[in-house]
Structure 1
Amino acid sequence: MARSLVIKVTAGMDAPERCNQAFTVAAAAVASGVPVSLWLTGESAWFALPGRAKEFRLPEATPLEDLLDAVLTGGKVTLCTQCAARRGITVDDVIEGIRIAGAPTFVEEVLAEGAQALVY
């Protein structure tokens, strides 16, 4: 079975370098052919909404919108159920291709054979 990468990003505009690192690693892994699952939790939950990634700015970094598009094209992006609920985000609000799922799905992905997990 191929190795996969599960990345959980908790940071958003409150910690831009940590946030960007997670998206950069996810996009680089997708570009390398690695199966990627990127989880948006905490403040990164806002990036599941249309236009929010475009608002993110970090000098010398690839635009977050481009990184998110790359992951959506070649991997999976999931918005945490509880994080969405706390922010009033529903399935009708999120970017097409982003799913909303909870801890059981995260645990299942992390425990899958060959999976590696990173938390930012």
Structure 2
Amino acid sequence: MTRSLVVKATAGADAPERCSQAFTVAAVAVAAGADVSLWLTGESAWFALPGRAAQFELAESAPLQDLLDAILAGGRITVCTQCAARRSFGPPDVLPGIRIAGAATFVDEILTDGVQALVY
């Protein structure tokens, strides 16, 4: 049975350690074979746009762009609908493979039996 993990990132460059932790945990879970869904909310929503993850820097952490690429390769990334709208971007603006969805989709994912959810 495949283990599932939903990670909700609420921080971006405003709280770089929390942001990096969310991406790191999601990428490591993908590497471990888990079914991973990373949700980008609040300031982390910016990382759904081309070039934004490459601009992020945090000493002693893996490059955010590498983590993002790993998650996209083996998991799912979703941007909160309201968070994207507040930042004036939509589906045509995000990186290929990233979707925009709302709270109902998030709740559906986390209420599935056996899913573990983490919020950063």
TM class, shorter-length: over 0.9
Q: Give the equivalent residue in structure 1 for 2:102.
A: 102
Tell me, yes or no, if the aligned pair for 2:2 and 2:33 is still in contact at 8 Å: no
Tell me the C-alpha RMSD between the 2 structures: 0.6
Give CA deviations for 1:62-118 in whole Å, capped at 9, x if unaligned: 000000000000000000000000000110000000000000000000001110000
Query: Is residue 3 of structure 2 the alignment partner of residue 3 of structure 1?
Result: yes
The count of residues paired between Structure 1 and Structure 2 equals: 120
Cα deviation for residue 23 of structure 1 reads: 0.2
One-letter amino acid of the counterpart of residue 13, structure 2: M
Tell me, yes or no, if the aligned pair for 1:3 and 1:114 is still in contact at 8 Å: yes
Cα deviation for residue 3 of structure 1 reads: 2.1
Tell me, yes or no, if the aligned pair for 1:11 and 1:44 is still in contact at 8 Å: yes
TM-score, structure 2 normalization: 0.98
Query: Is residue 82 of structure 2 the alignment partner of residue 78 of structure 1?
Result: no
Tell me, yes or no, if the aligned pair for 1:23 and 1:64 is still in contact at 8 Å: yes
TM-score, structure 1 normalization: 0.98
User: Runs of 4+ in structure 1 displaced over 2 angstroms?
Assistant: none
- Structure 2: gaps spanning 5 or more residues: none
Superposition pairs of residues 1-120 of structure 1, within 5 angstroms: 1-120=1-120
User: What secondary structure does 1:92 align onto?
Assistant: helix
